[in-house]
Structures are given as structure tokens and as C-alpha cells.
Structure 1
């Protein structure tokens, strides 16, 4: 055969091969490539969504942390105020108790002083009676002269 006929037959076989490839082989390959491109696009979109969700979650976390810090600061300030109020109240109670104790001690001291004065007056009256007895060289009856002795006690 001639080279032209061989070339012509080879061109026809080639065209048949190209037609067969275009009709039966190329569509599954194109479909697989399209599916692969779609999967890649879906993956990129999912990654982008995840990235935006992560950013939103980070913002929520920051807001909640800021709110928690604010609440903690407020609670600490409130606790400090309460502690100061308790301390001031304890100081006031201690001062009141101290004043009561001092007043009770003063009252007791006053009472003891009055008792001591009464005892001293009784002793002075007894000494005065003895002194008067010795001066008069006779016994003075305390029962008879009780009024006189009472006046003497009050004067002392």
C-alpha cells in the first residue's frame, strides 16, 4: 500500500479513536474532575465557614471573659465593702461594750466608795463615842443617843 493510503487510514483510525474517546472515555474523566473540583470548593467553603464560626466563638468567649472579669471585680469590691462594714460594726460593738464595762466599773467603784464612806463614818462615830466616853469618863448609851450619833454620821 501506498503511504498516502496508510496515512489516510491512520487518520481515519485516529479520528475514530478521538471520537470514541470523546464519547465514552472523556465524559467520566470530566465528571470525575468536576466532582473533584466540587469537593475542593465544598472543602474550601467549609473551611471558610469554620473560620468565621471560630472567629464568632472567639468573640463570644472574649465577651464572656470580659463579663466574668467585670462580675468578679464587682464581687470583690462588694466583698471588700462588706468586710469594711463588718469591721466597722465590730469596732462599734467593741466600743459600746468597752463603754458599758467602764460604766459598770465606775458604778462598782462608786458603790464601793459609798460603802467605804459608810464604814468609815461608822468607825468615826464609834471613835467619837469612845472619845466622848473617855472625856466624860462615863459610858454613853448608843441606843439613847442614836439620833445624836446619826447627825454626827451625816456631818462627817
Structure 2
């Protein structure tokens, strides 16, 4: 075999193989590579969108948490106000009850003082009658001298 002829055959076979590869092998291979590149690009875009969605979700969660915290603080403040109003109402009711009890006690004390004065007047009148009996050495009739005894009671 001739070296030149072998080289021409090898070059022809190479070009035929190159044409066959360009026509039948290369397009599916390039299509698979392009599909894979598109799939990777779509995956990266979806990952970016997912990351953005996660960040937005975090922001939304923080906003919701802040709202919940604020509402909780408002409810605590309202509960404290309600508790203070209940305490004030209880204080007012206790003050009113204490004033009523004090007034009742003062009225009872005034009644007892009046009753004690009346008893004391009766006792003084009885002692005055006994003293007068002793002085006069005779019995004084209390029913006969009732007007005089009543006048004595009023003077005491």
C-alpha cells in the first residue's frame, strides 16, 4: 500500500465520519446539552424565586409576629385597666360600706347615750325622791308629784 493513498482514504473516512457525526450524532447531543442547560437555568431561577419567597415569608411572619405582640400588649394593658377599675370599684364599695357602718355605729351610740341619759335621769329622780324622804322623814308619793319629777328630769 501506498502511504499517500492510505492518507487519502483515512482523510475521506474522517470526513465521512465527521459528516455522519454532524448529521446524526451531534444534533441529539447538542439538544440534550441544551435541554440540560435549560433545566439547570430553570432550576436556578426557581431557587432564586424560592429564596425570594422565603425572604418575603420571613418578613410577613415578622410583621404578623409584631402585630400579635402589639395586640397582646394592648390586651395586657386593657386587662390592667380593667383590674384597676375593679380595684377602684371595690375601694369605693368598701368606703361606702365603711361610711354606712360608721353612721350606723354613731346612730347606735347616740341612741345608747340617749337611753343612758334617760336611765340616769330616772335614777337621779329616784335618788332625789329617796333623799327628800330621808330629809322629810316621811314618804313622798311619786305619782302625786309626777309633774314635779318630770320637771326635775328635764332640768337634769
- TM-score calculated relative to the size of structure 2: 0.95
- 1:109 maps onto 2:119 in alignment: no
Aligned to 1:144: 144
Give the superposition deviation at 1:18.
0.7
Cα distance in 2 between the residues matched to 1:81 and 1:32: 72
Cα distance in 1 between the residues matched to 2:124 and 2:58: 96
Aligned to 1:66: 66
Q: Any unmatched runs of 5+ in structure 2?
A: none
- 1:57 maps onto 2:62 in alignment: no
Moved over 6 A (4+): none
Cα distance in 1 between the residues matched to 2:133 and 2:148: 14
Aligned to 2:12: 12
Moved more, 74-83 or 46-55: 74-83
Aligned to 1:21: 21
Cα distance in 2 between the residues matched to 1:6 and 1:127: 171
- 1:96 maps onto 2:96 in alignment: yes
Cα distance in 2 between the residues matched to 1:154 and 1:65: 84
> Could you say what secondary structure the match of 1:119 adopts?
helix
Cα distance in 2 between the residues matched to 1:88 and 1:36: 76
Give the superposition deviation at 1:93.
1.5
How many residue pairs match? The answer is 156
Cα distance in 2 between the residues matched to 1:3 and 1:130: 178
